[in-house]
């Protein structure tokens, strides 16, 4: 395992107890394969970190001048604590380089697995909470997640527009929306997809994105906006 000093610099936090940080970086595969080198694995800290992260985010949202409802706060929190967001932040810290993994996980690319990175990120947050207290872990979380928080609250990307549209169309007319690729542009590794969402054969929204999922989400958002504003009525 690499020296953790560089990781601590990336975190902007220096541990008083290095054992806590080591525990946060220890996967259970390492713990079971090398019991003489590991007193514990990171799952307890991961559980704690998940709770601390959720609380900090909700507290921040609650104190916001935007006065989010409990339903919106729940959606934003769920979006921010999901595996893809956590693993992306872990990647920005090069966290995978510092993990202690068993031979099997090492051989199968464990250092790049989103699930392992997300779990380790939560474990590190749990370790900071134990080592430095609430104020320190809150500072760290808001520093690491602030851009994601601002992006989510500003763009509304935490909404599951596709599910909302499906529920809306089923409630109003008992049908499901249909997504169709209208066009694909660009080179293989830089494609842009344009997708339309159709309800009973009529197009209600269009979206373009770097993936079909992104384009479908934007198309669903446009369709919902038109339905709820009364600009379009279901056939």
pLDDT of residue 235: 61
Does the annotation mark 3 as catalytic?
Answer: no
| Distance from C-alpha of 94 to C-alpha of 5, rounded to nearest angstrom | 13
Q: Give me the residue label for tokens 């509304």.
A: 156
Token readout for 176 is 């499901």
Q: Give me the residue label for tokens 């669903």.
A: 220
pLDDT of residue 231: 63
pLDDT of residue 67: 83
Give 46-85 pLDDT, tens digit per residue. Answer: 999 999 999 999 999 999 887 888 888 888 898 899 999 9
pLDDT at 232 over 70: no
Residues 182 and 143 in one domain: no
pLDDT band at 167 (very low <50, low <70, confident <90, very high): confident
Residue ending a domain, choose from 104, 123, 154: 154
Q: Is residue 95 part of a domain?
A: yes
Q: Is residue 188 part of a domain?
A: yes
pTM of the model: 0.71
Q: Is residue 234 part of a domain?
A: no
Does the annotation mark 214 as catalytic?
Answer: no
Q: What is the CATH number of the domain that holds 206?
A: 3.30.160.20
Residue ending a domain, choose from 154, 185, 208: 154
Q: Is residue 33 part of a domain?
A: yes
pLDDT at 1 over 60: no
At 161, phi and psi to the nearest 5?
-65, -35
Q: Is residue 235 part of a domain?
A: no
Please provide the average confidence, as pLDDT, over all residues in the chain: 91
- Choosing from 122, 168, 216, 222, the catalytic residue is 122
Q: Is residue 56 part of a domain?
A: yes
Residues 185 and 127 in one domain: no
Residues 53 and 79 in one domain: yes
Give 84-116 pLDDT, tens digit per residue. Answer: 999 999 999 999 999 999 999 999 999 999 999
Edge-to-edge strands, sheet with 202-209 = 178-185, 192-199, 202-209
Q: How many domains does the chain have?
A: 2
Q: What is the DSSP string of 4-36?
A: THHHHHHHT---S-HHHHHHHTB-HHHHHH-TT
Residue ending a domain, choose from 108, 133, 154: 154
Q: Is residue 180 part of a domain?
A: yes
pLDDT at 131 over 70: yes
pLDDT at 164 over 90: no
pLDDT of residue 107: 94
| Distance from C-alpha of 194 to C-alpha of 139, rounded to nearest angstrom | 40
Residues ≥6 apart with Cβ < 8 Å to 222: 197, 204, 205, 206, 207
Residues 146 and 172 in one domain: no
What is the average pLDDT across 190-202? 92
Range of the domain at 35: 5-154
- Choosing from 23, 50, 131, 168, the catalytic residue is 50
pLDDT of residue 182: 96
Q: Is residue 170 part of a domain?
A: yes
Q: Specify burial of residue 58 (Cβ count, 10 A radius: 0-12, 13-18, 19+).
A: middle
1 vs 129: which has the higher pLDDT:
129
């Amino acid at each position: 395992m690499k020296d953790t000093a560089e990781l601590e610099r990336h975190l902007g936090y220096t541990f008083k107890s290095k054992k806590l940080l080591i525990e946060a970086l220890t996967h259970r595969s390492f713990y079971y394969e090398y019991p003489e080198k590991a007193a514990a694995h990171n799952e307890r800290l991961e559980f704690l970190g998940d709770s601390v992260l959720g609380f900090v985010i909700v507290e921040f949202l609650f104190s916001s001048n935007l006065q989010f409802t409990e339903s919106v706060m729940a959606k934003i929190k769920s979006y921010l604590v999901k595996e893809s967001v956590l693993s992306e932040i872990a990647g920005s810290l090069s966290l995978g380089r510092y993990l202690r993994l068993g031979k099997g996980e090492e051989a199968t690319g464990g250092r790049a697995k989103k699930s392992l990175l997300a779990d380790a990120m939560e474990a590190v947050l749990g370790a900071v909470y134990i080592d430095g207290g609430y104020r320190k872990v809150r500072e760290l979380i808001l520093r690491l997640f602030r851009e994601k928080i601002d992006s989510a609250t500003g763009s509304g990307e935490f909404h599951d527009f596709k599910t909302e549209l499906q529920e809306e169309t089923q409630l109003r007319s008992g049908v499901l929306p249909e997504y169709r690729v209208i066009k694909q542009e660009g080179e293989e590794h830089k494609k842009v997809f344009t997708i339309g969402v159709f309800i009973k054969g009529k197009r209600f929204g269009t979206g373009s994105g770097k993936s079909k999922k992104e384009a479908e989400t934007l198309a669903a958002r446009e369709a919902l906006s038109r339905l709820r504003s009364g600009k379009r009525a279901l056939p």
